[in-house]
Each structure stands twice: as C-alpha cells, then as structure tokens.
Structure 1
C-alpha cells in the first residue's frame, strides 16, 4: 500500500484484536502514527481474558511501516480517555483519524432470549461496552480532531444498515449494533461544518482470533468451520476491513461517503481490494439474495 497517510495521526480505540488490530496495522502500513488502545496488556488481561495485547498490536503497526503507540485505556472511564487525548495533543498536536472499535461484549449476549428473560445486568454491561465507550471516546477526541479540517471518524459495528433492519435475535445486541450506526450518522452531521467525515463500517463473517478459537480451527484450515456453520465458507479475515478503512482514510474525496454504512466488501469493490487470499467475500450480498437460513451447504460461487 502507498504511504498515503504519512504524517497523519490516528487513534484506534479497541485495537487489541480482530478488526481493531487489523485497521491499526493497515493505517500503519499506509504511513500513519497510530495510538492503539484497549484493556489487555502484557501485564494484565481484561475481563475478555484473551492473550492478545495492545503492545502486540503496536509492534505490528511499527513492523508494517507506521509508528505504533500502545496506551492502556478503559474507554468506559472518561478521565482515562481524556488523559489519552491530552497525551495525543501534547505529543502530536493533532488527530486525523478516529476509529471507534471498542466492544468486548461477546460474553454478555444471551441469544434467542426475549428482553424480559435476558440478564439485565449483563445486557446493560453489553450496552456500556459496545455503545457508551464510543460516545465517551468521541466526546473527548472530537475537539482535537476538528482542530484541522478533513478529519475522519470510523465507527465499527456488525451488520450493514440494510441488514440491521432485521432483528438480531438479542435485544441488547440489536440495540447496541444499530445504535452505533446512528452515532456515525449524528457525527457526520456535526462534523460537516468542520470539513469532517464520519462513517460506520462492518466486516462480514469475521475470522477473528476469538471466532477461530470458537470453531476450533486456525487460519490455515478455516474452511473446516463451514461444517459447523455453512455461512462460514463466506468468512473473511480482519485484514479485509483493515485494508478498506486505510484506503478510505487515504481517499482525498472520502467525504462523499459521510453518514453512510459501508461494508468490507463494498470498500473492497470501491478501492479495488481483496482479502489476503485474493478473494472478495461478500456475505451481506449473499444474505440479500438468499436469506440467512442455514439449512444446507452454502455455495460461495459469485460471493467470494
């Protein structure tokens, strides 16, 4: 990738693993200085209890050609987020790209339960982790971002706006993921007078570290996961979305997308990208054409 982001400063909130890590790495590959944040460090794991760390992500950013800076931040704590932004201001004097990818709510979703049967405590924790974190981070970071015209905010969710018209089988999950889209739309309106852009992006069926472990597979034999979930044959690596976000950040005409919902596949089509294996998976188009029922093998022809 060309060094289109040389001299640009990015903050990827929630960059410990998955799409956050991949986006940070690809922004670095494009030349950016990237602050990577999260709660999992080499010294202490978060409640997610995974081995990935923000220091590992920062090292990957630097190895890719950028400058990775790891900062341990709990994005539910306004004081910690404010201190992070103050540090970026002191060290860089600007912020060009904000990526809100904080999540960590997987363990609190109770699929298939109506609201009144779902743990209220767990549901509210899910909302806090996946929604309040984004609001707190934008509230602190946007004053620095709007200091220079042309800033970009990327909200990361699950599902395109069109797909999320359907109920996502969990009240709290549904509310969180659809609300992130609304946060992006609101920010697009508020950034307009400052020449800024805000979008919401989504991967498809993601082969994250957590998902690979869930299926008991590796990236090398990932197709075996389709035996448990047929749609997994249309899955993608986190890098696919990372490449798309980096291309978007380097697009001088990116404002044409402001307020829009963009998928990894849509970004790939727009910017001529592929996943790491050269394929162009598009599960959202498959769902639009065939529905989401898993009643037999999925034919990936024409969808990757």
Structure 2
C-alpha cells in the first residue's frame, strides 16, 4: 500500500504507544500525513508515566514514508480538541481519516465486581474510553464530513459478537461498558456520515503485543515467544503493526463504504485484504478465543495464525 494514501490526512487520537502508534506508522507507510496526538511528550509525561512519546511516534511515521506531526492534546478537554482540529484545517484544509484510540489501560481494576472497583478509576475510564471519543468526533467529523470518502475508526477490545456472547469478568464493568459503547458510537457515526459519503467502523486488534504487555511478560518484540510467564494463549498475540495494516487497508479501499457501521477485527480484515503481521502470519485472536480458549475447545494457537 506504499503511496496509496499520499494525498490523505489522518488524525490518530491516542498515538503515543500500542495500537495507536502501530496505526499511525502504517498509515505513514502508505504515504499519509498523520497527526499523532496524546499527552506524553519528551518534556511532559502523562499519568501513564511511561517513556513512549508522541514525538517518537511522529518520527516513526516520517521514517515509514509519510509525514508525522506530533500535537499534545488531552482529548477529555473540548477546547484542546477544538484547537487541534483548527490546526489540521489551517495546515491541511482537510481530514480524511479519524482513528479514535483513547482508553486508559492503566486504569484497569482487575477481576473485581463493580462494587469493589475503584470508582475514581472507573469513572475516569468512562471519560477517556467514551467521553473523549465523542468529544473528538464532535469536532473532527465537522471537518472530515466536508469531503466524501472520509473514514472513522473507533478502536475497541472485542468484536460485537464477543461482547454479545461473553462478559470478561476479569476486565470489569467499566471496561466492558466503555468497549461495548464503541460499536454503538461507530453505528451512530456511520449512519450520520453515510449520506455525505463517509464510513465509520469499530475495530478491534487481537491480543496486542504492546509495549506494556511485552514489558509485563519480560520480553521484547524480538523474543516475545520466549516468555516464561505468559499463558499459552499468548502464542496468538499480534504486533501493533497488524491492526495498523488493517486501518491502512480500510483507508486505501475505494469501496470501504461496504463496511459502514460494522464491527471488524484485524484478523478478519487480514483475510479480506491479504495483509499479514510482521512475521508473515495472519493471527485470528478472536476466532481462537471463541472456538478454543473460552469454551474449553481443542486447538493450537499456531493453527489460528
């Protein structure tokens, strides 16, 4: 897809690390100009208190072949988002792709019922996982909707099928509500954009080998299969580039409107568009979870790659 998005402008909200960074870089590899937003810069860390920065992401976008532009934004603050969109409009005059990857994974309160979870953390997760998405859509879609062909991608965790079939108790109610809401938000955005030629989808990666996950299991992207602490299902894990290639494929597809309002996954889109993860495989995490991992079925993760 090198060069296919050369004239396109994208905004990746939450591009500091993980899926957001992977998506920004792959959009850059396809030639796009990518605004990389987040709260951690080289001079100021967010409450994640991690070393990854939006400047690092923007430089990776540029090295990949696009143009990366880092802008510090707290997407829970409407005026900051308003100014971001004004900047995009002033500098580019257009917006073609919006990716909302705002969540707050550091706010997880694992394996507790709602009455035992930290309420402050839970409400903050809803602010970052739902409210920030809607604030960003409110301002960004006013620009994106001016041209037909615009694409909105709401990042979530799990397909609509997964959320219908399973409640992942270890993640908790606040997480579940925030992630499920993305399917409805994409549905609403898609219905409103369709008459103007726009498309909106919800999209989930599989088990992501993010910086935080690799660190948790004591491995790197180079030796991730050698972890001695990760569960066997970690063998289905995918790199952030995989979901990034899914977004790049959608953004490059002249018939992307066929997916409007749908719930999609990186594994499903890999089969549809023919892209692979960095190791040449096509992991399908959610099919493995539904057919094997969560139902006590028989199957090797290698058979789902």
Q: TM-score range by the shorter chain?
A: over 0.9
> Contact conserved, 1:9 with 1:94, CA < 8 A, in 2?
yes
Structure 1 residue 188 corresponds to structure 2 residue 190: yes
* Counterpart for residue 140 of structure 2: 141
TM-score scaled by length of structure 2: 0.96
CA distance in 1, matches of 2:82, 2:296: 45
* Counterpart for residue 126 of structure 1: 125
SS state of the match for residue 154, structure 2? strand
* Counterpart for residue 215 of structure 1: 217
Where in structure 2 are the equivalents of 1:2-13 lying within 5 Å?
A: 2-13=2-13
> Contact conserved, 2:13 with 2:102, CA < 8 A, in 1?
yes
> Contact conserved, 1:161 with 1:261, CA < 8 A, in 2?
yes
Structure 1, residues 201-253: CA drift from partner, whole Å, max 9, x if none?
A: 11101000000001111112211337431110100000011011101100000
Match of residue 199, structure 2, among 194, 197, 202: 197
CA distance in 2, matches of 1:293, 1:17: 32
> Contact conserved, 2:11 with 2:35, CA < 8 A, in 1?
yes
CA distance in 1, matches of 2:199, 2:226: 40
Where in structure 2 are the equivalents of 1:15-26 lying within 5 Å?
A: 15-26=15-26
CA distance in 1, matches of 2:299, 2:54: 36
1:291 Cα offset (Å): 3.8
1:113 Cα offset (Å): 1.3
SS state of the match for residue 51, structure 1? coil
Structure 1, residues 249-273: CA drift from partner, whole Å, max 9, x if none?
A: 0000000001111111111111101
Name the count of aligned residue pairs. Answer: 302
Where in structure 2 are the equivalents of 1:1-304 lying within 5 Å?
A: 1-103=1-103, 105-165=104-164, 166-169=166-169, 170-225=172-227, 227-292=229-294, 299-304=300-305
CA distance in 1, matches of 2:295, 2:257: 36
CA distance in 2, matches of 1:192, 1:163: 26
Write out the 4+ residue segments of structure 1 that deviate beyond 6 Å after TM superposition. Answer: none
TM-score scaled by length of structure 1: 0.96
> Contact conserved, 1:17 with 1:53, CA < 8 A, in 2?
yes
CA distance in 1, matches of 2:49, 2:229: 27
Q: What stretches of structure 1 of length at least 5 have no aligned partner?
A: none
Q: 1:276 to 1:148 in 2, by over 3 A?
A: same
SS state of the match for residue 107, structure 1? helix
CA distance in 1, matches of 2:221, 2:31: 27
1:110 Cα offset (Å): 1.6
SS state of the match for residue 22, structure 2? helix
> Contact conserved, 2:217 with 2:229, CA < 8 A, in 1?
no
> Contact conserved, 1:237 with 1:276, CA < 8 A, in 2?
yes
1:180 Cα offset (Å): 1.2
1:168 Cα offset (Å): 2.2
1:32 Cα offset (Å): 0.8
